Chain A
């Protein structure tokens, strides 16, 4: 490993850190395949459980169960994807926490 290799690695890791810092803050709102949901639901055989503003893939007929193992999603930017079933579960930011304090 030479200096150039280390520079490449550090640069990429810096991008990763920057994206982490850019994650939205605020009230968590659950979206499934781009649609907002407010209760547990099922889509393409994937069962999505909602509880206290948190969401998780409870079960899925897919082979690898990556989506299930993603566990509970609670902060904006958290996302679980089941590619075989074409399902995404994401937490987006609702009204921002700062707005909530200001008004």
Chain B
């Protein structure tokens, strides 16, 4: 976890801000996503910015909480399938991003040596998000053949993850300065 020297009270405020951000972005995304027609109805994962920020700034529990809030929102607005898809994608990517950043901090020197930035973490988070959704789709339809969609899902995850990761990195720098 990044120690920003944030007081306990403002930490609570950040939880709220990230959850609200996730919901706002989910809402925006539900308008944009159908235009892109990605396989399975995968969302580009804009709202994952909020999940990644929460996991990166406040730690893993906050990341999971924001992912859960996002999934419940998807469930209320778009039904059970959306809840399951959003939950699987969000929780898995929050888990990965949270653990990567925690590990990265413990081995701060090693991390600068390999040169992985928020962009790289975002790419891994984005691909994890899509793979979790793909696995869920295979499970729900009992169709292993769904995994032939893997190439599209990876490419979408890499592009979306690079964008969200880079943005999350920039915002985190701003939070550091604030």
Contacts and interface: CB of A to CB of B under 8 A. Distances in A.
B151 A17 contact: yes
Nearest to A92: B145
Contacts, number: 105
Contacts of B137: 81, 83
Interface stretch (B13-21, B51-59, B67-75, B109-117): B109-117
A12 B143 contact: no
Interface in A39-89: 63-64, 66, 69-70, 77-79, 81, 83-84, 86-88
A5 B115 contact: yes
A5 B40 CA distance: 27
Given A17-B151, A63-B78, A83-B40, A8 B120 contact: yes
Main secondary structure, interface of B, reads: helix
Contacts of A23: 148
Contacts of A90: 143, 145-146, 148
B46 interface: no
A65 to B, nearest CB: 8
Contacts of A69: 37
Interface string B142-178: 1101111111001101100010001000000000000
Among B34, B78, B85, B143, max chain A CB count under 10 A is at B143
Interface of A: 1-5, 8-9, 12-13, 15-17, 19-20, 23, 31, 33-34, 63-64, 66, 69-70, 77-79, 81, 83-84, 86-88, 90, 92
7 contacts: A2-B119, A4-B115, A5-B119, A81-B40, A83-B40, A83-B137, A90-B143
